[in-house]
Amino acid sequence: MQIDQVKSYLLQLQDSICTALAAEDGGADFIVDEWQREEGGGGRSRVLSDGAVFEKAGVNFSHVMGANLPPSASASRPELAGRSYQAMGVSLVIHPRNPYVPTSHANVRLFVAEKEGAAPIWWFGGGYDLTPYYGNREDCVHWHRVARDACAPFGEEVYPRFKAWCDDYFHLKHRQEPRGIGGLFFDDLNEWDFDTSFAFMRAVGDSYIDAYRPIVARRKDTAYGDRERQFQLYRRGRYVEFNLVFDRGTLFGLQSGGRTEAILMSLPPLVRWDYDYQPDSGTAEAELTEYYLQDRDWLAEA
């Protein structure tokens, strides 16, 4: 295992994503907050707040160690419970100001579980997904096309498999509703050798800006009013619900004693909940759930 190479890549990825997003925003830059964790390890959080384009953008790097793998990491592999571990990754959530620019999330990570007298067990995970407030077919197709192209060198079956996994994972069970229009999600990836798995993680990480930045550039100057803004704040509530109830990364961070400010940087600065809100039929707000928030094969439909 080349753990130092993975860490070096993740730090470079954080740098490159922050540079691209700050350039696209043009009105604010990321502040840097380095932190240490008592049990072992630490991280480097970067947050852009109140920008011209991004109301809040957080890009977090962490590398943490512990004596016992937290339940959220061993739930699907109970045989690993009780092992010591180290985990490193980059995780980001971008909340734009303009309701016509989608929220986006990305994460790439490496876990290593260790036990005295046994070979280390490693796996990669990650992916990215897109959460629009006002749907746009061009954006959905572009997002999935970049995701497909990132997967293509690793096999024709990879994109359909991880696209379906994303649709299944980013789903609010209590509302029977997808969080967004999907993308890629993978976890427990060690079926390939380490170098191939690492190369795939890099392909996913490196393609994120190619997937997201053109969408931001196309939509960031779209005119909007209070109606669109209030709908955006309402829909952000779904994002909060998923991250606090279902997200494995959030649960891992809290269960492992991570830094709360870094873990919860994914939450939007403003959000609202309305009791039993129903959009008017035939509106763009109704179209979001009726058409866009469905498990669609965007590339086949294109």
The rounded distance, in Å, linking the Cα atoms of 92 and 224 is 26
The residue from 63, 105, 142, 171 that is catalytic is 105
**DSSP H stretches of helix in the chain:** 3-25, 71-74, 137-151, 158-169, 194-219, 226-245, 248-255, 260-263, 284-287, 298-301
> Which residues participate in the annotated binding site?
91, 95, 105, 107-109, 144, 174, 257-259
Question: Considering only CA atoms, which of 188, 152, 170 is closest in space to residue 93?
Answer: 170
The rounded distance, in Å, linking the Cα atoms of 139 and 169 is 21
The rounded distance, in Å, linking the Cα atoms of 130 and 208 is 11
Provide the total of helices (H) and of strands (E) in the chain, helices listed first. Answer: 10, 9
The rounded distance, in Å, linking the Cα atoms of 247 and 267 is 12
Residue type for position 39: E
Is 105 annotated in the active site?
Answer: yes
> Which residues participate in the annotated binding site for a divalent metal cation?
95, 105, 144, 174
Please, are residues 159 and 94 in contact by the beta-carbon 8 Å criterion? Answer: no
Look up residue 144 and give its two tokens: 């999935």
Q: What residues contact residue 289 under an 8 Å CB cut-off, 6+ apart? A: 177, 279
> Which residues participate in the annotated binding site for substrate?
91, 107-109, 257-259
**Residues noted as catalytic:** 105
